[in-house]
Amino acid sequence: MATDPVLRRSSRRRGSTPVYSLYGEDGRSPALDGLHLESIADRSRLHNWEIQPHRHGALVQLLLIERGRVTVRMDEEQRVLRAPALVWVPALAVHGFRFAPETEGLVVTLDQSRLRDLLDHLPELLDSLAEPRLVALDRGATVTRALFAVGHGLREDYAGAGPWRAPALDHAVALLATQAARLGASDGASHGNAPAHAHASVDGRALQHLARYREQVERHYRRQPPVAELAEPLGITPTQLNRLCRRHLQCSALAVLHQRVLLEAKRELGYTNLMVRQIADGLGFADPAYFTRFFLRHTGRSPSAWREQGPAQGH
């Protein structure tokens, strides 16, 4: 497999982290329809079992590791997982893998819009999948055996042409995503802090507002618009949005925006050779000195110091 038949590199600013997107994102391939499956070995063996840090602009991925070992780098975290294990990669998370030779498992790549179509009636679940998951599984557990059985069935349906193939694929993908959310929440292994509403029964409408607010933040964080502008498409006031964020996320609406800006700053410091002033400019800071103060306030270190010491040691 000399070339990648499904994922292509998308041109971005010089020196930025590679971003890969699904072929046909603007004119989707009916055959793929936003879903791609392959074994871990299919791609990793071509690169000496190492996948360099990169991210996907509109894709999510699920890795089911059945045999072997993998070192996962997910944004600032690095962790070794031994099979059986599960890794969930949300869109835009910087991730890389170093597999032990002959590691066996499955990689499910899914267009984010298809995931939303499948789980849009479950906003709390969908929102929880915005966080990466690195989960060590118990080989003898019933849920582990069921998880890999679904994965094997998905692979057979994906490669086949049996009756009711499309709904079978949708059902299997939705089940795998649901299990990823449940397992990550239950063992506390999710990357970063799970939102408070992931463990409590909360108002579905509020979660829809929060999910839409995060979408607004994702689209516009680079220019750091006022919270009022981000709240307007939601049909609620900034005061209402702040109340929702404080209730369910334990922070203000502005803090959600700042956290996204900070995460992107760390990614660009850790994975690109862009100068600090270029990063500041690309993230909506008119003054590089203000960006430095912003970064220092949130991490305790200047951007240059954080870059020099490496993301694995960062805050």
Q: What percent of the chain has pLDDT over 70?
A: 81
Residue 59 is predicted with a pLDDT of 84
Burial class (CB in 10 A: 0-12, 13-18, 19+), 170: middle
pLDDT score of 192 more than 50: no
pLDDT score of 14 more than 80: no
CATH number, span 198-313: 1.10.10.60
Residue 261 is predicted with a pLDDT of 93
Higher pLDDT: 194 or 271? It is 271
pLDDT score of 137 more than 90: yes
Higher pLDDT: 92 or 245? It is 245
pLDDT score of 286 more than 80: yes
- Tokens 């949708």 identify what position? 170
One of 3.20.20.70, 3.40.50.300, 2.60.120.280, 3.40.50.620 is the CATH number of 7-194, namely: 2.60.120.280
Residue 175 is predicted with a pLDDT of 93
Cα-based angle 26, 22, 147 (whole degrees, multiple of 5) = 135
Token digits for 286?
Answer: 């008119």
Residue 258 is predicted with a pLDDT of 95
pLDDT in tens, 194-248: 443 333 334 567 777 887 888 889 889 999 999 999 999 999 999 999 998 888 7
Question: Please, what is the average pLDDT of the chain?
Answer: 81
pLDDT score of 94 more than 90: no
- Domain residue extents for the chain: 7-194, 198-313
Torsion over CA: 248, 85, 266, 123 (sign): negative
Residue 274 is predicted with a pLDDT of 94
Residues sharing a CB contact under 8 Å with residue 201, sequence separation 6 or more, in sequence order: none
Higher pLDDT: 270 or 238? It is 238
- pLDDT band at 136; cut points 50, 70, 90: very high
Residues sharing a CB contact under 8 Å with residue 291, sequence separation 6 or more, in sequence order: 265, 276, 279, 280, 283, 285, 303
- pLDDT band at 185; cut points 50, 70, 90: low
Instruction: Note the pTM of the prediction, 2 decimals.
Output: 0.62
> Nearest to residue 81, comparing CAs of 92, 91, 72, 73?
72
Q: Which helix (H) or strand (E) holds 74?
A: strand 69-74
Residue 210 is predicted with a pLDDT of 82
Residue 204 is predicted with a pLDDT of 61
Higher pLDDT: 2 or 61? It is 61
Token digits for 3?
Answer: 């070339």
Q: Are 104 and 137 in contact (CB under 8 A)?
A: no
Residues sharing a CB contact under 8 Å with residue 306, sequence separation 6 or more, in sequence order: 266, 269, 295, 299, 314, 315
